[in-house]
Structure 1
Amino acid sequence: MVDLEKAPGAARPGETAQQAGQGEPARRADAEGCLAVAIRIPVRIVVLVLVVPVRMVWDALVVAGRFLRDTVLRPVGRALAWLGRALFVWPLVGLWRYVLVPLAKGVGWLGHVLLVVPAAWLYRWVLTPVGHGLAWFLTRVGAVLAAIGRGLYAGLAWLGRYLLVVPAGWLYRWLLTPVGHGLAWCGRGLVWCGRQVARGAGLVVTGIGFVLYWTVRVLLVLPALAVWRWVLAPLGRVLAVVGREVADALGHAWRIAGHLSLAVGRFLGTLLRWTVAEPARWAYRSVLTPVGHAVRDTVLRPLAEAGRGAGRATRQALATARLTVRQARADVRRMLFGEPAEPNPVDRREPSAVEARTLGSSTTALTKD
């Protein structure tokens, strides 16, 4: 019998082996071991139980801190800033602007008048001529001293050549050079002997070092390598898995605790709203507002109207009293000093209505005969 069923890994006609294998689920390269799976659930449960109270306390502290910042710390800070400006900044600015700056300008002007101007005058009319004179004198004296110095230098150079240089050259050529060649030959012999001794000592040290190397390798390095490979490395991998799972559990627990804290906060907010805010709003809207309007319409508004009427009457009485006093004072002045003299009219040289020039009249410069 012919098997018509297709094998799981077999390719259909017209398909390649790569296309046929795409239907199988790909295997993760970083597949987790049984240790990570076994540790994950208990660790996450324990961490969640420990983190939820901490997160709720943290969120409560954050809310309390924001409320304290907005209601207490910020106004107190603004008041302290204003008080600091009023007590320190503004007095210092006034002291700087109205005391120190004018005083410094006065001291600067006084120093300029008492020090700078006399110093400039002294430099221009006293020190500069004296300096030019000293420079001229020193130039002449220097020329004379330079001529004398050149003569002395030539004499001393001749004496030094024949008293020091020529004997030193003879001593170097006929005495020091042969002695130096002899010492150099002796030194080369000593260097050859030292090289032979050093080569022998190097062979001895190399042998000792080879023995010590293998001794240390066998006694220390190989056991330490075995302990690292078979004990510390597996233990480190286990601790790394445990630490990673604990860190992941802390992250998940912190996020879950945040959601729980948000839900609890919303529940408490809704509870406060329906137990405190809504009754207070209903009492304000349904009780206090009508009572306030009634008090305003029946008591406060009539009192305000009466107060405004009394104010108007008082102002009218005061105006009448001022007018009466002014008229009485004018009558007394008239009885004592007589009527005031009429002021003479001032000619402002303005044309009257009849004499004013217009474009249609015949008195303009263009139409006048």
Structure 2
Amino acid sequence: MSGDARERVEGAAGTGDAAGGSGGVPPEPSGRSDAPGLSGPPQPPPGPGVVHDPTAYTEYDAGLYPRVPPQGAVRAGAGSGRTGGGSRGTAPRKGPVATGGRWLAQGIAVVFLVPFRLLWELLKLIGRVMVAVLVFFFTRMLRPLATAVHRWILVPAWRLLRDFLWGWVLRYVLWGLVLTPVLAFLLDWVLKPIQRAIERWLWNKLLKPLCRLTLRYVLRPVWAGLCWAGFHFMKWCVVAPLLALWRWVLRPLWRALRAVLVFGWKWATIIVGVLVVVPCRALWRWVLHPVWRAVAAAWRAVVVPPARWTYQRVLRPMNRAVADVVGAVFGR
């Protein structure tokens, strides 16, 4: 702490003591506070040619100053002291002992706390510098280098490995000349015999006895139970109701319907025979048949002889003449 700053602080402290002893209002602290109720020493206004010392109030950050009552409480206490003649509300007067203790606390804070604070600031500065250097190193050097290595080394190497080595060496040489015969030999002489042995053992020792036991003790009883249940179900739920329906409903209805149909057919036959058959037979016998015979006799007497003569005397010779002419012209 410089001498000018100490003089300013002592002058401000003396002014505050004088104000407190005379019942005046102490000046409000101008420093910042980390906890409620804590304040540092009053800061006088800078005069002409006075340089502010940043280390003069470092002790304030450490919280070494006494708790100062609010301004309203100090004023109330000062007023009551003037009227009441020195009651408990009057602010105590600061003497040389308090000033010396404060300077002792300031000295201890400067000696023990300021170096740690400076060391902490130095460590933070070193950390920031290291972070900036690492960020610069990674962003400006490693990233372009990694990009160049990836673009110009790894990608061509991967393409060469994928296209040439995998496409030609592994696929044709290794697979065609080495792996295929080896795998075929293993498949024919190792895996298939093992498979056959396992299948035979499983079938003869496990699956076949298990299937027999399942068929004998599970499937056959279940099938017999299902058959018995199905037979009795069909017998009592389907056949018996159908037999009862046929015996008591359908067969009587069928007999009645058959009797009605037979009786109706007989009466219809009698009615049709009397009303239709007998008149039609009489009409055919006594009217239509004689008329048909007369028409047939007239047809045979009037139409048949002229048609026969025309065919024999006219059409047949004409047909023969036309056939001879066509044969002579066109040939047979």
Interval of TM-score (by shorter of Structure 1 and Structure 2): 0.3 to 0.5
**Structure number with higher relative contact order (C-alpha < 8 Å, ≥ 6 residues apart):** 1
TM-score, normalization by structure 2: 0.38
TM-score, normalization by structure 1: 0.34
